[in-house]
Amino acid sequence: MAQDNSFSPAEREAIYRCIHERRDVRRNFLPDPVPDDVLARVLAAGHAAPSVGFLQPWNFIVIRQPETKTALHEAFQRANEQAANMFEGERRALYRSLKLEGLREAPLLLCITCERDRAGPVVLGRTHQSEMDVYSTVCAVQNIWLSARAEGLGMGWVSIVSLDDVRTILRIPESVVPIALLCVGYVSQFETVPDLEQAGWRRRLPLAELVFDECFGASGNTADILKSKGCSDTEILDPTEDGL
C-alpha cells in the first residue's frame, strides 16, 4: 500500500498562512528573550534546508551581547549613510524615513554563513553552477524565517551593511561567506502589509505578469488560470478551494 504523504486541509492552510503572514520585521520588537527550546527548533529548521550535494554549507552564529549588537549597528549606520546618498531628491528623503534595521532592539541576532570549501573543491551539483552552495544557504534562511513566524517571532534581514565589517566584528574566516544578518524576537504586532509597500517605496507585482509558459516572456494558459482563480496581488490562493 502506498504511503499517504498528504497534509490535512488544516495543515496545508497553516503552511500557506505562515508564508503569507511572514514579514521582514525591523520594529515592534519586545524585550522578551527567545526561549532556548524555541531557538533550538528554529535552528533545526534551518539545518533541515535542502543543500546541493548534501553539502550543508551553513553555520549559525547566535548573537546576544549588547556590545556585539552595538558594533553591528554602527556598521549599519555607516553603510546606511552611503546608501542614502545613492538616491536623489524625494527618493532620498523617503529612504531616510524608513526603519531598515532592529539590530539593537531585537533580543537575538543570527548570522548565517556559507562554508564553501566544506566538502572539498568538487561538489556534486556544484560542478557547473558554483554558486549553488550559496543558494542552499539562502534556503536555510527561508526555513528559519518561516519557522520563526510559526513560533510567533518576528525576523528581519539586514543587508545594508558591509560584509567586511560583519567579518571583522564576528571574526568570520576569509574562506567563509556571511550570507544573512538577521534580527529575531517577539513583536507587539505583525503588519498585514510589508513596510516598504506601506511607505510607498514599491508595490507588490501581480503574479500573473511574472509567469510565462515554455520560454521567457511568453504568456499563456498559466497566467490565465491565475487570473481566473482570482489571484490578487497580495493574497495566496485558498488551498481548500475546489480544483487547487
Residue 236: its pLDDT value, please? 53
Dihedral (Cα; 12, 16, 21, 24), 10-degree rounding: 120
C-alpha cell at 26: 525591523
Low-confidence residues in the chain, pLDDT < 70:
231-244
pLDDT number for residue 243: 40
Domains of the chain: 12-203 (3.40.109.10), 204-244 (no CATH)
Is the overall model pTM greater than 0.85, yes or no? yes
The pLDDT value recorded for residue 231 is 67
Query: What pLDDT does 2 receive?
Result: 78
Q: What is the pLDDT of residue 244?
A: 37
What ranges in the chain are assigned the alpha helix state H?
9-21, 36-47, 66-84, 89-97, 132-150, 163-170, 195-198, 221-228
CA distance 235 to 32: 31
